[in-house]
Amino acid sequence: MFVPVIMAGGSGTRLWPLSRQLSPKQFLPLVDADVSMLQATIKRLEGLDSGEAIVICNEQHRFLAAEQLRVCGHEQANILLEPVGRNTAPAIAIAALQATATGEDPILLVLAADHLIQDVGAFHASVGLAENLANAGKLVTFGIVPTHAETGYGYLEQGAALENGGYKVQRFVEKPNADTAKLYLDSGKFLWNSGMFMFRASRYLEELRRFAPEIHDACHDAFGGASRDMHFTRVDAARFAQCPDDSIDYAVMERTHDAVLVPLDAGWSDIGSWSALWDTAEKDHAGNVCRGDVLLSGSRGSYVQSSHRLVTAVGVENLVIVETKDAVLVANKDQVQDVKGIVDQLKKQQRSEFSAHREVYRPWGKYDSIDSGHRYQVKRITVAPGAKLSVQMHHHRAEHWIVVSGAARVTNGDKTYLVTENQSTYIPVGQIHALENPGVIPLELIEVQSGSYLGEDDIVRFEDRYGRAEVASE
C-alpha cells in the first residue's frame, strides 16, 4: 500500500479569468463539469491499494480543499498547509515527515492536483511498476511519452533498462528550443518530465538530508512545531519561511544515484493554458470547443466558454473566448501563454479580478457581490444548513439583511432572534453580531452594506468555529 501526496498549491494564472488567486485551476471543473481537477486526481486512485491522501495546499485555499475532499468522500484526508510557497522539495519533505510521524514508513506517490490523465488503466499500470521500484529503494519519476516536440516542458533522457522494469535516468534536461525538442522527439530516448514521483518516505528524507541539508533541517524544525486544527496541519510558519526555495529535481533527483524513470503513456496534460484545454477537449466539425451557453456561426478552431450568459461569435478563427460574471477574455489561441501578462497588470492595479471571482466561497457557504457603488455594496449570501458566520463587528459599515429563503438566527448585540422569509433586520456600525442557519435547507439572504469603507478586511472576529484569525480578510 502507498500514500498519495497531492500537491495542490499554485495559481494557474494562464487560465484567467476562470482561475484566480483565491480559486486556482486545481479547484475548478476544467475538464469534467462535475468534478474539480483535485477531485479527479483523487478519483483516479480508485482501484489502487492506497491509503488516505495527504493534500498540500496554501493557507488561503484550506476550506476550499477541505470541502471538495468532503464532497468526494475523503473528509479524513490529511491537509498540510504551507504558510509560504517554498517549491516542491520542501513541500514533499513535510509530507514525508507527516507520513512517518506515527512510526510508519510508507511509499509515497507524489501527484499534482491539476493534471489530466485520460487513460486511467495505463496510469495504474505505471504506478504498479513504480511501486515495485520504490520498494527496492529507488526514487522514481514518471516520464511522459511525448506526442510532439514540446518546448514548454523539461525532459528526461532515458538510460539503461532495469531488470525489474523502468530505466535509469541518464539526465534531466531544461525546456529546450524548438530545434532541440525536435531532436529529442526523433531520438526516441527523451520523455517529458511530468513532476510526478514515487519513493519510500525515508529514502526521500535520507537523500534530501544528504544533498540539501538546509532544506531537510528547516522542514524538520518546521514540522516539529506543527499544530493540528480541524482538518489541517500547520507547520511552524517562521521556521518554514527560513527554508530554501528549491524543486525536488534540483535538490534531490538530479543528484541521487538511485533516480529511475517509468514511462507513462496515458493521455497526460498539465492543462497549463487555454490552448491545452482545446487540445484535450472534444471538438465539433469545425474544430471548435464550446462550453456553456454558446452559439457560433462561421467560426473555426476556437475555444469558447460561457459561465453565466449567452456568448456568440461570428466568423472568428483560432480564438479563445472565456466569459465569467465579472470578466471576459478574448485571445488568439497561439498567444494564450501571454494571459499571464494581463494577470500581472490586474495585480499591479490591485483589481479584485486578479484575486477573486464575484462569487466567493467561505467555510460556511458563499457570497456573490451583486452590485457596488459609492458607500454601498449588495451581496447575495448563502449559508449552509447548520453553519454559522463568525461573531464579529465592523468599524466602518452597517448591514441590512433580507431573508429570501430559509431561516436565520441572528445575534444583534445582546439580542438573539429568528428572521424568516420576507423579513429583514439591521446591524448598526460597531454592533457585535452573528448569523447562523439553524434549518435543514440553505439560507439565502440579500445583504446591503453601507458605510465609508466596505473592504473584507473590516472584520473583527470575537469567536469563530472555523479557526480564522480575529482580524482577517477571509
DSSP 45-74: TTTS-B---EEEEEGGGHHHHHHHHHHTT-
Q: What is the average pLDDT across 284-299?
A: 97
318 and 258 inside one domain: no
Residue 414 half-sphere exposure, CB side, CA atoms within 13 Å? 0
Q: Cβ of 360: how many Cβ atoms within 10 Å?
A: 18
- Evaluate if pTM is beyond 0.85: yes
Same domain, 58 and 157: yes
For 310-368, write each residue's pLDDT tens digit: 999 999 999 999 999 999 999 999 999 999 999 999 999 999 899 989 888 888 999 99
Residues 174, 233 share a domain: yes
Residue 239 lies in a domain: yes
CATH number, residue 197: 3.90.550.10
Share of the chain above pLDDT 90, in %: 89
Same domain for 238 and 322, yes or no, is no
- Asked whether residue 15 is assigned to any structural domain, the reply reads yes
Do residues 70 and 94 share a domain?
yes
Which amino acid is present at 318?
N
403-437 in b/e burial notation, b at 16+ Cβ within 10 A?
A: beebbbbbbbeeeeeebeeeeebebeeeebbbbbb
Query: What pLDDT was estimated at residue 134?
Result: 97
In a domain, 80, yes or no: yes
Supply the pLDDT for residue 359. Answer: 87
238 within a domain of the structure (yes/no): yes
Treating both helix axes as pointing N-terminal to C-terminal, what angle do 213-224 and 201-211 enclose, rounded to 10 degrees?
Answer: 120
- Confirm whether 112 is domain-assigned: yes
Looking at 240, 269, 298, the residue that finishes a domain is 269
pLDDT at 471: 44
Residues 141 and 183 in one domain: yes
Same domain, 239 and 322: no
* Nearest in space to 323 (alpha carbons), one of 315, 314, 313: 313
The answer to whether residue 275 is domain-embedded is no
Sign, CA torsion 56/57/63/67:
negative
Distance (Å, rounded) from C-alpha 342 to C-alpha 395? 34
Domain CATH number, residue 445: 2.60.120.10
Q: Is residue 205 domain-shared with residue 76, that is, in the same domain?
A: yes
Range of the structural domain that residue 395 is part of: 358-463
Q: Is residue 137 part of a domain?
A: yes
> What is the Cα 379 distance to its own chain's centre?
26
How far apart CA 92 and CA 86 sit, in angstroms, is 10
Count: domains in the chain: 3
Exposure class string for 327-350: b at 16+ Cβ within 10 A, else e:
bebebebeebeebeebbeebeeee
User: Sign of dihedral through CA atoms 263, 267, 270, 273?
Assistant: positive
249 shares a domain with 197: yes
152 and 260 housed in the same domain: yes
pLDDT in tens, 168-210: 999 999 999 999 999 999 999 999 999 999 999 999 999 999 9
Q: Is the pLDDT of residue 71 over 60?
A: yes
153 and 53 in a common domain: yes
**Is residue 17 in some structural domain?**
yes
pLDDT digits (tens, 9 = 90+) for 205-245: 999 999 999 999 999 999 999 998 877 999 999 999 999 99
**Unique residue bearing C-alpha cell 511519452:** 145
Same domain for 363 and 331: no
